[in-house]
Amino acid sequence: MKILRHILVLPVIFFAVLSADGESVTSWIRKKVENLAAQPTLNDSIKLFCLPTLQKQYQEHFYTPFWSSDVRIDELMSLIRHCDVDGLQPTDYHLKILDSLARKAGNENAATRDILLTDAFILLSSHLLNGKIDPQTITPRWNISPVDDRIIRFLIELPYVRVGDFYRSIIPQSHLYEGLRYQLKKYREIDKQGGWETIPSGKILKPGNDDSRISLVRKRLLSTGEYDGPEPEQPDFYDDQLSEAVILFQRNHGLEALGTIGPQTLAEMNTPASERIRQIEVNMERIRWLPESFPDYYILINIPDYMLFVYDHHIPVGEHKVIVGRTYRKTPIFHSTLQYLVFNPTWTIPPNILKYDILPEAQKDSGYLAERNIQVFESNGTKLKPEKVNFASADASGYTYRQLPGDQNALGVVKFVFPNPYNVFLHDTPSKRLFNRVRRTFSSGCIRVERPIELAQYLLMEQPEWTSRKIDKTIESRKTQVVRFNRKPEVFLVYLTAWENDDGQLQFRDDIYSRDEPIYKELKSSPDESN
């Protein structure tokens, strides 16, 4: 059927191309595309971004125009004009010169316009599919090569596929992306209307207080939807309904949700709508970096949220607080697959922790290692007595330091291993109290997980020999045991500072590693174009 449709449409294209006066549009396209081999700019001045693909596709299709239909041109131009709904900039996609060419007659201008429409389409499609910014280098993708096969297939089938349908098929399909698109529109409307009034600082506000700032708090929460009640008879009184709205706001911003309004809550309330828009746009870009669809079974760890979620058949089946890397020992972002766990793990101390944490303490206290059940080995495996080691010597940093299983072991009673180049894994911790903190950046890069035995029980659920009783007895033995998973979840470490949760509540988190601003700067950058 597709072949038949191609045959039926060819006479229309042939007529449209050759019925124009003078040199045909096809001839002009051939000249211009062939000239690109010697001079990689169109008309000697207009930069193209998808040059290899563009040349190849025009050659393979005998230089016939891809954009011979006014309907398809209008659809693409509309998509370019409104790509800001995805946090992108219309001016990045030849918008100005395409608008000027629309007002010019002649086959040469038609050829230039067709080439620019093709280049804009490939660039915009690639940005929607993979992001405008390369997450590895945090630089914009202006030279697009290679190109996703779906883009090429669309160009080939362009006469009978609507641009809007293609666009809807390539934008991220996750609820995370759709939620942020909705919230971006909402916050832009708020910003257009002037945003919200700044709430002055002052004493901590608590339910039951009378304060002139209370009416401002109510208006602030009304604008973003946390408060949806009527204007009370006493607008300056902090009533129960407002308290519930404040608690919701605090939860939505990763704050301690007590209902009291102190400096941190005020700072979040006073963050301008324009800054929240920037945050939303940055995180839409991050979502474009993620896989188009997640597997049935996976673990998602959002670093700024300090949370781990287990999904089975796309349904959330468990959530755990986590502790992530300090700001100077950042937990990396990557994707892997969970392979096995280790009960009663030993801990071989990494070089950085050894250098900055362990050796300085051992120099001050000769009993430091013994108290923590840490053994010292030479490179040949010979065990050394800690009291005989000169920890201030250069030799000390060359030894292997291994902490045995036990109550003080830094990895706790279980660790979860997924191969990665950063030597990052999930593990238990003896420092349980730290999970009560709101900001949980205390690790050296690995991820400490709350209730790890519960997580292990779920992950081993389809291995019936590993009953709760057997897990408990294994831990009590203090013997190290490796258990490989029969069913292995994929693991995604992500960095989202804005997203919409399952309840439709927009979530904001602190940019703990200062990663938002560089992305926003590049997201709003434009190529050097002379058009």
Residues annotated catalytic, as ranges: 427, 446
Residue of 487, 480, 451 lying closest to 338 (CA atoms)? 487
Question: Strands, DSSP E only, in 99-198?
Answer: 133-134, 139-140
Which residue bears the tokens 């004493």? 203
Question: Strands, DSSP E only, in 393-525?
Answer: 400-403, 414-417, 426-427, 441-443, 447-449, 481-484, 490-494, 498-500, 506-508
**How many C-beta atoms lie closer than 10 Å to residue 231's C-beta?**
9
> CA 156, 159, 161 angle in degrees (round to 5)?
85
Number of H helices, E strands in the chain: 19, 21
Could you give the residue ranges of the DSSP H alpha helices within 290-346? none
Q: At 227, phi and psi to the nearest 5?
A: -105, 130
Q: Pull the structure tokens for residue 317.
A: 């089946």
DSSP string, 357-415: IIHHHHHH-TTHHHHTTEEEE-TTS-EE-GGG--TTSGGGGGSEEEEPSSTT-TTTTEE
Residue 140 and residue 246: Cα distance in Å, rounded?
39
Q: Give the H or E element holding residue 312.
A: strand 307-312
Q: Pull the structure tokens for residue 405.
A: 């299983």
Q: At 521, phi and psi to the nearest 5?
A: -60, -45
Q: Pull the structure tokens for residue 15.
A: 């007529």
Question: Strands, DSSP E only, in 237-276?
Answer: none
Residue of 491, 494, 447, 438 lying closest to 177 (CA atoms)? 494
